[in-house]
Structure 1
Amino acid sequence: MEDATDDLVPLDWDQVEARAARGDTSHLRELGARLADRREAAAEQAREYGRHLAHVVRVLALTRGRDSLTQLLRLLDEKQASTGLHPRFVASLLAEHQEPADLAAVVFDRPHTDRLDELRGCLFHELILRGVDIDDFRPLRTWTIVRPGWSALAWLPDQLRAMETAVDFPGRSLRGSARGGGSGLPTEGRMDPPTPRTSRRSALQDVATTAVHTSIVAAPEAGDWGNHGAWVFRLDEAIAPKRVPALLPTLPMPCVDGLGPTARFEIAARPVDEIWRLLFATASMGGMYGEGVHGAYGRLWAWRSMAGLSGTAEGASAEDVERHANQSTWFHFEADAEWFHNDVCADYGIAALSPDRRRLAVLAATDTD
């Protein structure tokens, strides 16, 4: 195929090289241009197939009943690599629209010889987040025994914890979706420091290790937020929670650089479940231009951020993270510093004071269009 006119015949590379040897480079340029056009047309056709395939999967996932579930699982098992859809997305759709009893019977109660364990792992935690008690369904109880140990999700608790009870989910239909816009700083628990605040900067230094920093920013990193940062400070002495609002704007953090003594700095004490809810929404639903990592992995990365903020040791159990989180004092703040964009529900800061009141960890995240 010297001129690439027949799609069924492969291009003869020997002839291409012979043309070049004879100096017929203009022919090669024209040939390259035609191939580039065909490649772009084929890529667009592949994208179109992908859009159609994604819609078929969506329709099967959202059509209630065991028959549609059975057909969807057959499709995913046979063509999973070709669908281009991550199992965590499909699991989120299923948990939103299918009955737990049907999901337990069809998805979990079947021979584990297919390639759908990642789907099952994600669906398991999607159901937990929606309040399903796994003890009510034998296949779900069995999954905790037979699930693969390599999955990062296996670290998570098998029951919904008290701090996870306030959870936001997106709503999806056959051709659309909607998600909550988050929540700004509440009026309850406000501890705004009086103005003018001191312009003197604190001498404390950030002592966050790479591992701790990575842990703290896990949720906004997973949610693909525009910018985020984390800092940890060892205090010279134990301080009462009421001193934190005045201390935060003075710390050496880019998120408060340039904040004048009268510029807006608002802060509220928050219960641990509201902090977890904010982190979960950040990871699961993502930033303005992303869809996040959905429920199961949103749960995982919210816990990771809580671990880093609360000072839980690396590699600790979920029970240890929960204990440290419950014993910490939590704050939610916003500021008119240049680092933030101050778009509604697209900027926040979190601070955690340790139980001994000698460690202060901070996470700041911002996302804007």
Structure 2
Amino acid sequence: MEDAKEDLGHRVWIQAEQRAAQGGVLFVRELGVKLAARHAEAADRVREYERQLAHVVRVLALTPGRDSLVQLLQLLEESQSAGGPGLLPPFVASLLAEHQQVDDLASIDFDRRGWNRLTELRACLFHELVVRGVEVEKSSPLHSWSLRRPAWHALSWLPGRRSEFEVGLNVAVDFPSRSISGSARGASTGLPDTGRMDPPTPRRSERLSLRDTATVDVHETIVAAVQAGGWGDCAAWVFMLDEPIAPDRVPALLPTLPMRCVDGLGPMDRFEVALRPAAEIWRLLFGTASMGGMYGSGVHGAYGRLWAWKSMAGLSGASADASAEEVEEQARRSTWFHFQADADWFHNDIDADYGIAALSPDRSRIAVLAATDAD
């Protein structure tokens, strides 16, 4: 069969070159049309095989029990060349964390004697379990793997235990619910009633002359969670203040900053803002990255955790080389705000717009993230 393929390829090359040299360019074009049609047919067949294989993987992942888990891992170990979104390790790990018993996952998937080609799946699954509240120290296989996680892997930057920001995650709300036939999710970006600090109207309409100091790297770090979640648009700004300000002055200051997300906001237009705990901001960013927007499924729990942390790092002003523990401390000492507005930039669809502002611990730096997922 392989010889036949090589012979066909050789004949196509020879025929195309010979006919073109003889002036038969029409023949060459028709040859190309036939090849393009065969390519499209083969691509359709590949996509159909990917869909079918993804369904088989989903059935095994969602069928609780050691037997189905072993068969799934064996299938993935033997099918490394297969592609498609339904086969990506972050997605499969998320399914396993939702439907399989922790003890089974720990004793089977994290057994160092097997599954040598499933490092990415194992890395994702570890953080799916951590962020869902599994205490790694109480499981010998998980604890052992946490001590020998590959240092080169991006997820190794994350802490091997849940931070104080992550403890409040609710499995029923902050994670998707999947079945054989579909899925549902319940994360919300709405502004809470508690902690409201809406500035009185009419507000001042003139803009401050502050300059956005966000570098390209800082901007990309701040918007990391939104971009990972595949939202429609996002932007970030960083402003260094002339003097430190008290947190209660931030709500009135935000609409006056030179930011696109408040363009067109009149002195009487809606601008709502609430003081939020750092944990709630992290939760909002995690939902954005892990479950995605209206037209995507996000990057799931493990990488959702990573990009939520990175956005928190950029917003709080942590150094580029800060550890997760250092980012957590910087974020804990910062003051966090959540806002929404009837400005031109936002579309004000339900759960499709939000703004986040962070006042640094020294109260002289304000960083802002604005996100929208509407068309």
Amino acid of the structure 2 residue aligned with 1:70: V
The corresponding residue for 2:64 is 64
The corresponding residue for 1:45 is 45
Q: Please tell me whether the aligned partners of residues 76 and 83 of structure 1 are also in contact (alpha carbons under 8 angstroms).
A: no
The corresponding residue for 1:355 is 361
Q: Does 1:204 align with 2:210?
A: yes
Aligned ranges for residues 26-175 of structure 1 at < 5 Å? Answer: 26-84=26-84, 85-111=87-113, 114-167=116-169, 168-175=174-181
Distance of 1:38 and 1:139 partners within structure 2: 49
Q: Does 1:240 align with 2:240?
A: no
Q: Does 1:275 align with 2:285?
A: no
Compute the displacement of 1:16 (Å). Answer: 2.5
Amino acid of the structure 2 residue aligned with 1:204: L
The corresponding residue for 2:21 is 21
Compute the displacement of 1:110 (Å). Answer: 3.4
- Flag structure 2 segments of 5+ consecutive residues without an equivalent: none
The corresponding residue for 1:3 is none
Post-superposition CA distance 1:241-268 (Å, at most 9, x none): 1111110000011111121111111111
The corresponding residue for 1:332 is 338
Distance of 2:334 and 2:352 partners within structure 1: 25
The corresponding residue for 1:249 is 255
Post-superposition CA distance 1:62-116 (Å, at most 9, x none): 1111111111111111112314322111100000000000000100023266111
Compute the displacement of 1:8 (Å). Answer: 9.0
SS of residue in 2 equivalent to 1:233: strand
Q: Please tell me whether the aligned partners of residues 163 and 272 of structure 1 are also in contact (alpha carbons under 8 angstroms).
A: yes
Compute the displacement of 1:183 (Å). Answer: 3.3
Post-superposition CA distance 1:271-321 (Å, at most 9, x none): 111101100001101121111110011001101111111111111111111
Q: Please tell me whether the aligned partners of residues 202 and 251 of structure 1 are also in contact (alpha carbons under 8 angstroms).
A: yes
Q: Please tell me whether the aligned partners of residues 235 and 369 of structure 2 are also in contact (alpha carbons under 8 angstroms).
A: yes
Aligned pairs, how many? 364
Distance of 1:211 and 1:73 partners within structure 2: 38
Q: Please tell me whether the aligned partners of residues 169 and 180 of structure 1 are also in contact (alpha carbons under 8 angstroms).
A: yes
The corresponding residue for 2:293 is 287
The alignment yields a C-alpha RMSD, in angstroms, of 1.5
Q: Does 1:193 align with 2:199?
A: yes
SS of residue in 2 equivalent to 1:124: helix
The 1:105–1:285 alpha-carbon spacing in structure 2 relative to 1, beyond 3 Å, is same
Compute the displacement of 1:355 (Å). Answer: 1.7
Distance of 1:213 and 1:143 partners within structure 2: 34
SS of residue in 1 equivalent to 2:325: helix
Q: Please tell me whether the aligned partners of residues 222 and 301 of structure 1 are also in contact (alpha carbons under 8 angstroms).
A: yes
Aligned ranges for residues 174-189 of structure 1 at < 5 Å? Answer: 174-189=180-195
Q: Please tell me whether the aligned partners of residues 215 and 308 of structure 1 are also in contact (alpha carbons under 8 angstroms).
A: yes
Amino acid of the structure 2 residue aligned with 1:214: E
Distance of 2:60 and 2:110 partners within structure 1: 17
Distance of 2:192 and 2:163 partners within structure 1: 23
The corresponding residue for 1:310 is 316
The corresponding residue for 2:271 is 265
Distance of 1:188 and 1:22 partners within structure 2: 80
SS of residue in 2 equivalent to 1:231: strand
Q: Please tell me whether the aligned partners of residues 77 and 115 of structure 2 are also in contact (alpha carbons under 8 angstroms).
A: no
Q: Please tell me whether the aligned partners of residues 349 and 365 of structure 1 are also in contact (alpha carbons under 8 angstroms).
A: yes
SS of residue in 1 equivalent to 2:56: helix
Q: Please tell me whether the aligned partners of residues 192 and 274 of structure 2 are also in contact (alpha carbons under 8 angstroms).
A: yes
Amino acid of the structure 1 residue aligned with 2:136: I
Distance of 1:230 and 1:16 partners within structure 2: 53
Distance of 2:281 and 2:38 partners within structure 1: 51
Amino acid of the structure 1 residue aligned with 2:324: A
The corresponding residue for 2:327 is 321
Amino acid of the structure 1 residue aligned with 2:92: V
Distance of 1:15 and 1:207 partners within structure 2: 61
Distance of 1:319 and 1:32 partners within structure 2: 58
SS of residue in 1 equivalent to 2:8: coil
The two structures have a TM-score, normalised by structure 2, of: 0.94
Distance of 1:311 and 1:296 partners within structure 2: 23
- Flag structure 1 segments of 5+ consecutive residues without an equivalent: 1-5
Distance of 2:250 and 2:197 partners within structure 1: 9
Distance of 2:135 and 2:147 partners within structure 1: 16
